Amino acid sequence: MTTVGIDAVEIWAGKCKLDLPGTFAPAKDEDPDKYRKGLGLENSSFPDVYEDIVTMGANAAKRLMEREGLEPDDIGRIDVATESAFDNSKPVSTYIAGCLEEVYEDDFHHANKGERKFACIAGTQSIDDAYNWIKAGRNRGRSALVVATDTALYARGSSGEATQGAGAVAMLISEDPDLVELSTEQGYGSADETDFLKPNQQFPSVDGKRSMQVYLARMREAVEDFESVAWDMHPEDFTYIPFHTPFPGMVRKAGLLGYRHMIRDTEIEDDLAGEIGRQPREGEYEDWDAYEAAIRDYMDELKGTDRYQAWYADTIDPTLSIAREVGNWYTGSVHVARASALKAAAEQGRELAGEKLLVGSYGSGAQAEIHAETVADGWKEEIAQLNIDDQLEQRYDLDFEEYEQIHDVHNHDMTVDVEEFTTPEGEFVFAGRGRMNERLYEYVE
């Protein structure tokens, strides 16, 4: 049977950065450890004046196509996942295709184009769409280009402001992929929630505490659903577990919950029983509140064990290294986590071909998806072509006043005149507006 998965990946980070402990915390008169240790963040990425979700997505897609030796005829669909769209009718994919057509002789007129929206999970849903399109035999031998691109801005002074970020992830979905093969089995957890939403507004309305609860609840449901059609998972089944990462502190909670679930009724639970006891079972308690309290106590003990900490350091922590430097990219977040893990493995000289990842995607509103991925033979060559370290090193370091200016530039309700902080070279840039208020773009050599 032909395998389908992610053949190649490219990342484009916003070209400005905000140092959270060093610049943001002092301006807010707050403890830097609130960001470094609490949220698990060092820096956030921001788009320069001439950048937006189109330029970041198009630049990532262009670099991916160039290094893979692709032409427009090789692409049968372009799907863009974003929750930062600026048009309620015209999809961002048409803008990105238009940008690419400026640098290719041929066009994408025979490629299906669309835009996916379901908060941060839309990138994974776009991959699912491409997978199904290929498996159905409708691709005519062509690949799909999936672009997850977002500028995650929050109102200044809001609780989510420190988790902002901006960037794009472009992924090529193909038969016989070189990076990872996608599992047929998927698990879902979905419910009508109002934890995070943007009702005709750019900046989100967020119930932070509720959002964390919903994230974890939907993830648990998705894990249980996945196991119902796949297998009962064990911590040793997966080399890495990339989660949606609004901030690394959230993943610490998800990782602990996942580990507790996977060790239940296993030799690991037996081995730990002498140290922290066995997991509470619901039938042992008179009511749900007592059971939940016992579970919380158990998890506090589990978190401190050497065995759990070693598992977390090997399986979860490598997925977070890029996120710590860029903040939340919404639809691109979980795909940054995957790339971060594979990048860490390549740097350590690990051989991963044939090993499995468990990918946990989430979107507020709310839905989680769990699926497995098998690392392909060509993964190391693909990951070696990422230049994300160079991008992060070359970002312009904003002071707090400059951060406020950049925030205003990308606030759809404001019109401000701010000089660019970096010089574009070999990339697409925003070039103004046309006669119908459409955004215009050009390629700068």
DSSP string across 18-50? EEIIIIIHHHHT--THIIIIII--SEEEE--TT
Q: For strands 143-152 and 75-81, give the pairing.
A: parallel
Is 371 designated active site? no
- Rounded to whole angstroms, how far apart are CA atoms 115 and 92? 7
* Rounded (5°) CA angle 426-427-428: 145
Contact 238, 358 (CB under 8 A): yes
**Phi, psi angles (nearest 5°) of residue 375:** -70, 130
Is 83 designated active site? yes
- Rounded to whole angstroms, how far apart are CA atoms 86 and 365? 20
Catalytic position from the list 83, 193, 373, 382: 83
Q: What is the dihedral of CA 274, 279, 283, 289, to 10 degrees?
A: 120
- Rounded to whole angstroms, how far apart are CA atoms 348 and 154? 36
Catalytic position from the list 16, 99, 120, 410: 120
- Length of the chain equals 445
Is 120 designated active site? yes
Catalytic position from the list 42, 193, 244, 369: 244
* Rounded (5°) CA angle 85-410-435: 65
DSSP string across 389-421? HHHHHHSEE--HHHHHHHHHHT-TT-------S
Residues belonging to the active site: 83, 120, 244
